[in-house]
Structures are given as structure tokens and as C-alpha cells.
Structure 1
Amino acid sequence: MRPKEIQEKLGIDAERIKFFKREGVFSPENPPLGNQSTNYTDSDFENLKKLVVLTKSGLTCSDIKKIQNGKLSLQEAIVSRTNIIKNDIARKQNALILLSEMLDDKVKFDTFETEHYWNIISSREAGGEEFVDIEDMYDYQSVSLIRDICCPNCGEENEVDLEDYMYDHSSYEKENGMGPDIVYSFDSEYNYCCPHCGASLQIEGWIREYPVGAYDSEEINICEIEKDE
């Protein structure tokens, strides 16, 4: 089967298949050679169909990978994920109740009684309730922006956290249900010196995260900045 055919049959796009590949839960039987596209087998189709069913039921690729590696049985994964989803539903239910109370109070942003609702949340959390947090919104865990940068002057490598030089964090929501497409842009300008030789380097480029929490691609350019005479 050609890529478009298998995507149409499964109701997914190419990004979903790439995601399964990156997460290490799917490898086609006949990987593409050169510039040829993948020719999917019936076995590939069934494996992808299974992955679609399991992920739509709530299992993560991490769960599935543990099952494939024999570290977890399917039943164990289902029980564990069921408990996680139940806890998630409970948090969102508590958030819904709080939002309903805010609607009843006709709250406005400019006159929002922060202390009042802070105390409500604190009191309820002390009683064992949990509320939605940023991590719950997308099951968010961003990709690492730490890279080994090779100095073009001395050839030595050094670990650099590119988040220190990030100037833009753009994202937009795609319509395929896989969450936002995020691009981190960075430029060190004149602010990075090689710790080995002292050369001034400019490190600029971008790293793409898509779907949320998954590395997609990057472009990193490094050049030495010539000192003024």
C-alpha cells in the first residue's frame, strides 16, 4: 500500500505515522530506499491499526513501548492508564465546578478577586481535591533545547542550553487533533564564548516540537564572530 492509501484507510495523516516511528513503536517492514516512498504491507496496516486503537483508548506510546518490550502486560497498562484518566477526570471535574462558581459570581478580569479564589482552591486542595494544571492541558513535556555545540575555531564540543538564547516561541493549533505545532527560535548574537578557546560564536536557528512533547526537526547554525581590529 502506498502512504496515501494507508492514511486514508486508517483516517490518519503522515505526521501520525512519523510520530509512531519517532516514538519507537512502529517500523515498516520495507523501509523506503533513496527517494522512494514506503510500500506498506498488510502487516504494517494491522500494526498501525492496533496503534490507532490503543492510543485512541488512552494508552500512550510510552505504555505501548513497554508492552512491546515485555516490561508491561496489556492488562497492566490498561489498569495503570485507567487510574491516570480517572484522576485526570476528577481534576477537570473540580475545575468545572470552580468555573461554574465563577460564572455564577459574574467575575471580570479587571476586578477578579484573586485572593478569594486562591483561598477556595487552597482549602479544597487541603481536603484532597486536585485541580487542572498546565501539564494537564496537553500532557505537556517539552523537548530538550540542550545541544552539544562544536566550536568552528578549536573543534571542541560544549553542552549549551539554547533556551538561554531563545527569543521567540511560536505555536499554532493544527486541525488534526494532535495539538499545537511549536517552534523555538534562538540567537546567541554576541553573547556566547567557547569555554575552550574563548572564540565568540553566534548560535542561531530553531527547533520544532510536534506533536507536543515530541522532537520533530531543527536547524542550528554556528559561526565565529570576527573581532574588530
Structure 2
Amino acid sequence: MRPKEIQERLGIDADRIKLFKREGIFFPENPPSGNRSTNYTQTDCENLRLLVVLTKSGLTCRDIRRLQNGKWTLKEAIVARKQSIDAEIARKRNSLALLELLDSNAEFETFETERYWNVIAEKEAAGEKFIDIEVMYDYRSVSLIRNIRCPHCGEGDEVNLEDYMYDQSSNESENGMGPDIVYSFNSENSYECPECSNVIKIEGWIREYPMGAYDSEDITVEERED
């Protein structure tokens, strides 16, 4: 099957298949060669159908890799993801209830902060949670700090990859679990090993999905090309 044919058959686009390949959970039987595009087989189609079902059920690519590697049973994956979704739904339900409580006729300048503050405080004291936009405080629930080992001297150094971030893409997922966020970074010629003073290149991405949960990453560390 040609790429367009399998996309139409499964109702997915090329980007979805590329994501599955990039995340290391899908490997077509007849990959592209030379000027020829991928020739998908019926087995490829069934494997992609399975991945679509699992991801639309809320499982992440990281969950699926654990399944494929035998580190999780399907039951363990389902239970873990259900707990995550239940927690997210509970937070959204509480925030929705608060929105419905807010006076739609109120003015921003005369908003009754104290009244709603007490409502939130009471519910949080009872163990309930609300949607919280941590990024307003320049905070990332998924750390971008990694231990990077210099290819020259072999010494490790803790690096905050946010210092080299050039893009933060966010796409709303189809399964209702919120945005799928990818942080992309490239140090180019800006990172110097504190041990041997050689400049090295740190490049890659870290994926956050659902919001607040680490999903996957791809980080390369290379000697700088002169």
C-alpha cells in the first residue's frame, strides 16, 4: 500500500505515522529505499490500527514502548493511564464548577476575589484540585535539566536545556487529554564543557504529554563541526 492509501484507510495523516516512527513504536516492514516511498503491508496496517486505538484510549507512546518491551502488561498500562485521566477530569470538573459559580455579570475591576478564594481554599483543603497554569510563573512541571556527558573528556555536567530552547510547539490532542507539547533545543556553539573547555553541540527535543507528564525525548551530544 502507498502512504496515501494507508492514511485514507486508517483516517490518519502522515504526521501521525511519522510520530509513531520517531517515537520508536512503529517500524514498517518495507521502509523507503532510494527514490521509493514506503510500501506498507497488511501487517503494517494492523500494527498502525492497534497504535491508533491505544493512543485514542489515552495511552502515550512511552506507555506503548513499555508494552512492546515487556516492561508493562496491558492491564498495568490501562490502570496507570486511567488514574491519570481520572485525575485530569477531576481537576477540569472542579474548574468548570468554579466557572459556573463565577458571576458572569461581574466586572474585572470589582471582582469578589475573597469569595471565590474561600471556595477554592475549602475544596483544596478537602483534597480536591483545580486546573493550574504553572507556566504563568515560568515553571515547567517537566524538567528540562539533563546530565550531559562531554564527548571529548567524558565528564558529565548538569545542563538546563531551556537555555538553548528555540521552539515550543503545542498541538491539541484528539483524545481530549490536553495539549501535546514538544520542547526543541540546540546549543549550536553556545555550550562549553566546564572541564575541558571544548565547545560541544547539544540538540534534540523533549515531549510533554499529557500536560505535566514526561513522555519521551531524543537528545544528541556531538563534537562541534569546524
TM-score by length of 1: 0.67
**Residue 3 (structure 2) aligns with:** 3
Do the aligned residues in 2 keep the contact of 1:166 with 1:185 (CA within 8 Å)?
Answer: no
Deviates more, 1:13-22 or 1:65-74: 65-74
- Label 1:159 to 1:188 Cα distance change in 2 as closer, same or farther (>3 A): farther
* Residue matched to 2:224: 222
Q: Is the 8 A contact 1:146 1:161 kept in 2?
A: yes
Deviation for aligned residue 1:17: 2.0
Secondary structure at the counterpart of residue 183 of structure 1: strand
Q: Does the CA-based 8 Å contact 1:165-1:187 persist in structure 2?
A: no
Residue of structure 1 equivalent to 2:204: 207
Secondary structure of 2:150's aligned partner:
strand
Distance 1:63 1:173, change over 3 A: closer
Residues 121-141 of structure 1, C-alpha deviations (whole Å, 9 max, x = no match): 332111121222458xxxx74
8 A contact 2:144–2:162 mirrored in 1: no
Q: Distance in 2 between matches of 1:122 and 1:88?
A: 19
Equivalent residue for 1:125?
Answer: 124
Check the 8 A contact 2:145/2:161 in 1, yes or no.
Answer: no
Instruction: For 1:43 and 1:167, locate their aligned partners in 2 and report how far apart those are by CA, in whole Å.
Output: 41
* Structure 1: unaligned runs, 5 residues or longer: 225-229
Question: Identity rate of aligned residues, in percent?
Answer: 44
The Cα shift of 1:88 comes to 1.8
Residues 71-103 of structure 1 deviation map (CA, whole Å, 9 limit, x = unaligned): 444345334433332222111100112233345
Structure 1 residue 56 displacement after superposition = 0.6
Contact 1:183 1:207 survives alignment (8 Å): yes
Change (3 A) 1:45 1:134: farther
Q: CA 1:115–1:168 in structure 2 vs 1: closer, same or farther (change >3 Å)?
A: farther
Alignment correspondent of 2:83 = 83
Other-structure match for 1:30? 30
Give runs of aligned pairs for residues 76-225 of structure 1, distance below 5 A.
76-104=76-104, 106=106, 108=108, 117-134=116-133, 141=142, 145-150=146-151, 155-163=152-160, 166=163, 168-174=165-171, 179-186=180-187, 189=190, 192=192, 194-196=194-196, 199=197, 201-202=198-199, 207-209=204-206, 213-215=215-217, 222=224
**Structure 1 counterpart SS, 2:59:** coil
Which structure is higher in RCO with an 8 Å CA cutoff and minimum separation 6?
2
Larger displacement relative to structure 2 (2-11 or 90-99): 2-11
Whether the 8 Å CA contact 2:148–2:221 is kept in 1: the answer is no
TM-score, normalising length from structure 2?
A: 0.68
Q: Aligned-pair RMSD on alpha carbons?
A: 4.0
Identify if the C-alpha distance between structure 1 residues 86 and 176 changes in structure 2 by more than 3 Å, giving closer, same or farther. Answer: closer
Cα offset, 1:46, TM superposition: 0.8
- Give the whole-Å Cα distance in 2 for the aligned partners of 1:97 and 1:63: 31
AA partner of residue 129 (structure 2): E
Partner letter of residue 222 of structure 1?
A: R
Amino acid at match of 1:44: D
Alignment CA distance shift 1:159-1:2 (3 Å): farther
Structure 1 distance, partners of 2:133, 2:95, is 12
Q: Which amino acid aligns with 1:171?
A: Q
Greater mean deviation of Cα atoms: 116-125 or 3-12? 116-125
Q: How far apart, CA to CA, are the structure 1 residues paired with 2:73 and 2:121?
A: 38
CA distance in 2, matches of 1:79, 1:176: 20
